Structure 1
Amino acid sequence: MLILILAYYLAQSAHSEAGPIAAPIELRDIASCDGQRRQRTLANIIWSCLSTIVLCTWVAVHPNVQFRPEKQGQGWFEKGLWNPLHEAVTFKLPLFLWALLFPEYILSWAVRQYLQAGVISKQVPRWTRTHGNFMIMGGFHLFRLPADAPSIPLPLKSREPSNFINPAGIHNREDEIPVCPLKFEDFPVDILRIIAPTETELKDRGKSDSLTKIIVLVQTLWFVIQCIARGTQKLPLTELEVVTLAYATLNLFIYIFWWDKPRNVECPIRVYKTATASHEESGKEAEGWEGNWVWRWVQKVIAYSIGAQDHYVKLSAECSIPTFWSGRVENRLLADAGLGPSLLGSAFGAIHCIVWSSVFSSCAERIMWHVSCVAMIAVPFVVTILCVVMVVGLRKSDVFDGWNAVILIICSNLLMLSGWLYIASRIVTLVIAFAALRSLAPAAFTTVDWTTFIPHI
């Protein structure tokens, strides 16, 4: 809402600044040239762009489950106002800003979860990719029952008792002790077949349905079609519309890969063990950051760039699933998951070049826009090189040596040096996009003549 209010203020101030020039352009010059063709206002342009950006970015992001233990004795202020506001400021808003500044990283996260959900769904009978996504996003959380609470061990196929139990009596759920989120390797398949909901039940836990997703896709595609139509009729696009087009294109792919992932699930399914049962994290043990601080930074840059940071997380020590958790994806899948999003990230920057030769308000703005475009194309392309080296190197062995290791180190250093430029480029393009609204070209206010697309004689 604050963004929309700010946009409206900018629209009014920009319109007032351009008063002596904008009025003749909008009402006389264009009207006389195009007859009865309708004109759009500055407020129309801003509203269309901002609504598309917010809708694409806010709705397209499907976060993991952020589990927070329930507090007893909360008042109406804390429960109804403070808790939702605290969650929005500390979790949802940072994730939204991250999606604005690094949309290709969100895309690579979605691709990793898509691939890993497919791997998990094949290991449990009758599971779908929705089940796999729910498992990855922290949908199952381990709890311990109170010491005096009766329980029944869940049976395995071998008829031997397991460490997992079902409550068998009456007890206060607030007395259950949360332990940690669980990953797929922590469960026997037999237990998952017992406790896992159906696909319909999982979708019911989400805060969006197919109709909502279709509405978002229609809005996004409609904006893209309008931009294409303006290009066909030689009508200029504003810098803000180009930025919006880039976000709409990239978020369209994000939405496709997260189509089967439940959105905004707040409460995980409770999985129980007794108060005396121990929990040992299953699967491969978490790796540690090794070497001196220089090599450790190189490791972290590579890991977070390609999405391998999950291999360094001990999930049994976490209170909630990490924000960008995708499961410990195999290295070969990581390379595949990073290659496409990094290329699309470069394409995201390339879309901004549509207005490369446009007339900017000042020479400084033109230079900053050009430098930002180059940076937004080059930095994701460095990640592409990293992924290509991984794909080629992992076909030979699981250890990088020789030229592969040299290229990895060079690319990592480039990412560390150019990371600040990449962040600055994102901010600069957004600022210039709004600043350019103060002096738009006359044809920017002309709407598309849709009758030219209808076949006629």
Structure 2
Amino acid sequence: MVARLFSRSNAPASPAAETLVGWVDESPGRGTLSLIISCAFTIFLCTWVVIHPRVTKRPLHRVLHKIALFLKTLVAPECIAVESMQEWSQARNVVKNCEGLTGGGMKIVHAFYIGMLALRYRTPSGYRVIWPNQYTWLLEQRLIDWQDHASWGLSVESIADKSNADGTVKLAALVQVSWFVIQSIMRTAHSLPLSPLESMTLSYIPLLAATYFFWWVKPKDVLTPSVIDLPPMTSSQKTTFEAMAVQNTFDDDGIGQRNSLWSIWHLTPRIFEKEAEDKAAHEAVQHATAKTIGKDVDVEAGPFLVESKEIVLSYWDPELYRSKLWTVICLFGASFGALHLISWKTIFPTLVETWLWRSASLVSIVAILIFMHFEKVVFRWGGPLTMISIISPALYLLGRLIMMAGVIAAFRASDPAIYETYVVSSYWIHML
């Protein structure tokens, strides 16, 4: 196998003077099928294997949610990388907030487990999610004691037992990705071009490596949540506790549209979204109350402006967004489109396809930088900047689809040099 991969093929050495080639059968060099399989397998390891979905009780929802995450990762890996960073940041904050309440016993794996909706409590009609801020509040109110966390299914051993993270799979992914990168470097060192599909595959690697870094200790593929009974509370405590829920979308208590199939596309909400929502509601009440001062208007019957439910396209963690690291994060996010430019001089079947692919690569870079410039993108009119914030992800998606279609269509008439290989026997001699 090694000899076949590294031996010199019979493909022409002067692609500019030769006719483009279509499907190339397997030979002593490499063929179209082996090239596609190698790239597809590497992309699979960089997408499906790296995904750490939230806990979903229903089997159908669980599978569909993971497929939805896979498609999102395939199309926009930089967004998943930033999402993993935001989850990691939230988990760290939860651990920090609970440090004094748990005697330092809470670790980031516990915070990840709670944050992925793996902790539920029973209700007369089903189950509801215990969100990280609710769990912190229970500790603060002394309604629960960290010493009893094992009985809630929060021991490290219990979480590890539920998690399906496999070290062998991680090792296989590391070996395959490393091998793919080495091959690409060696081809470049020998002045051999990479196919557009190989350039796209390379573009996934740094982003998914970052995703794996932030999700390294996050439990993976947990099938069932830990279900507990809430401790006794007063009516006011119960009201406060329930009001702290970030969302009710993922509750499984048979009420309304909760836990519907549409929820498979939703990213797991973060605590800062709830905090921002509560702050906005409080400010709205203060504003409405202030307008009634000096007027013969009952506050409760006053002209409160209740906004309809916002359609949020993106909402970056304010702590990260306002940090000095955000510029670096944006540039790292743009690296996916930028790495495609490795194949800038790649020969496509037609000149139109060549410039369409190049333009799509540049558009994806600019669009993601613009998109990440806005802390929150809401689907509503708010002036010209709103249109820019909404159009930028649409342009990014269009560019990505063109790029993905282009790398596949390119195989019908490709530069024959992408099938050339090189001899590495001399490298082994120098190593010896």
Q: TM-score, normalised by structure 1?
A: 0.66
- What corresponds to 2:398 in structure 1? 424
**Deviation of residue 121 (structure 1)?**
2.2
By how many angstroms is 1:455 displaced? 6.5
Partner residue, 1:280:
239
Q: State the Cα distance separating 1:25 from its structure 2 match.
A: 8.9
What is aligned with 1:194? Answer: 148
Separation of aligned partners in 1, 2:334 and 2:412: 29
* Contact 2:371–2:392 (Cα < 8 Å) also in 1: no
What letter corresponds to residue 149 of structure 2 in structure 1? I
2:373 to 385, 398, 413: 385
| Deviation at residue 224 of structure 1 after TM alignment | 1.6
Q: CA deviation at 1:248?
A: 2.2
Residue type of the alignment partner of 1:436: A
The aligned counterpart of 2:217 is 260
Tell me, yes or no, if the aligned pair for 1:101 and 1:426 is still in contact at 8 Å: yes
The offset of 1:385, in angstroms, is: 3.4
1:183 aligns with 2:146: no
**SS of equivalent residue, structure 2 residue 229:** strand
RMSD: 3.2
**Are residues 276 and 116 of structure 1, via their aligned partners in 2, closer, same or farther at CA, if it must alter by over 3 Å?**
closer
User: How much does 1:87 deviate?
Assistant: 4.3
Of the three residues 316, 323, 344, the one matched with 2:332 is: 344
Using the TM superposition, give the Cα deviation of residue 192 of structure 1 relative to its aligned residue in structure 2, in angstroms. 4.2
Q: Which structure 1 residue ranges, 5 or more long, are not aligned?
A: 1-19, 32-37, 69-82, 147-176, 287-312, 391-407
| Amino acid in structure 2 at the alignment position of 1:416 | I
CA shift digits 1:180-228 (9 cap, x unpaired): 2011222333434413432232122111223322221222222122111
Deviation string, structure 1 residues 332-390 (Cα, Å, up to 9, x no partner) = 23544865543222111001111112221101111211111111110121144346xx9
The separation in 2 between residues aligned to 1:266 and 1:422, in whole angstroms, is 34
- Name the residue aligned to 2:109: 130
Q: Distance in 1 between matches of 2:146 and 2:23?
A: 69
Go from structure 1 to structure 2 and tell me whether the alpha carbon gap of 1:416 and 1:370 turns closer, same or farther (over 3 Å shift): same
What is the CA–CA distance in structure 2 between the aligned matches of 1:341 and 1:427, rounded to whole Å? 23
Structure 1 residue 441 displacement after superposition = 1.9
Which residue of structure 1 lines up, in the alignment, with residue 83 of structure 2?
Answer: 109
Q: Which structure 2 residues correspond to residues 8-23 of structure 1 after superposition, within 5 A?
A: none
CA deviation after TM superposition for structure 1 residue 92, in Å: 2.1
- Distance in 1 between the 2:109 and 2:82 partners? 18
Unaligned runs of 5+ in 2: 1-18, 253-258, 273-316, 377-381
Post-superposition offset of 1:412? 4.2
Whether the 8 Å CA contact 1:26–1:442 is kept in 2: the answer is: no
Structure 1 residues 353 and 178, CA gap change in structure 2 (3 angstroms)? same
The answer to whether residue 350 in structure 2 is matched with residue 362 in structure 1 is yes
Q: TM-score if structure 2 supplies the norm length?
A: 0.69
Residues 317 and 445 (structure 1), Cα distance of their counterparts in 2 relative to 1, 3 Å cut: closer
Write the letter of the residue equivalent to 2:80.
Answer: I
C-alpha spacing 1:67/1:234, structure 2 compared with 1 (3 Å) = same
2:271 aligns to what? Answer: 328
- Residues in 2 aligned to 1:277 and 1:449: alpha-carbon distance in whole angstroms: 76
Structure 1 position 140 matched with structure 2 position 88: no
Structure 1 residues 219 and 409: CA distance shift in structure 2, 3 A: farther
Q: 1:34-433 maps to which residues of 2 (within 5 A)?
A: 38-68=28-58, 83-84=59-60, 87-88=62-63, 90-122=64-96, 123=98, 124=102, 125-144=104-123, 177-187=125-135, 188-189=138-139, 190-196=144-150, 197-273=154-230, 279-280=238-239, 282=241, 314-316=246-248, 318-319=250-251, 323-325=266-268, 327-329=270-272, 331-336=318-323, 339-386=327-374, 412-433=386-407
Q: Kindly indicate whether the alpha-carbon contact (under 8 Å) linking 1:343 and 1:384 is maintained by their aligned counterparts in 2.
A: no
* C-alpha spacing 1:186/1:335, structure 2 compared with 1 (3 Å): same
Q: 3-state SS of the aligned residue for 1:212?
A: helix
Residue 289 of structure 2 corresponds to: none
Aligned partners of 2:360 and 2:240: how far apart in 1?
A: 45
In the TM superposition, residue 314 of structure 1 has moved relative to its aligned partner by 3.8
- Relative to structure 1, is the Cα distance of residues 281 and 443 closer, same or farther in structure 2, using a 3 angstrom cutoff? farther
Task: Output one character per residue of 1:297-316: Cα deviation in whole Å (capped at 9) or x when no partner.
Answer: xxxxxxxxxxxxxxxx8425
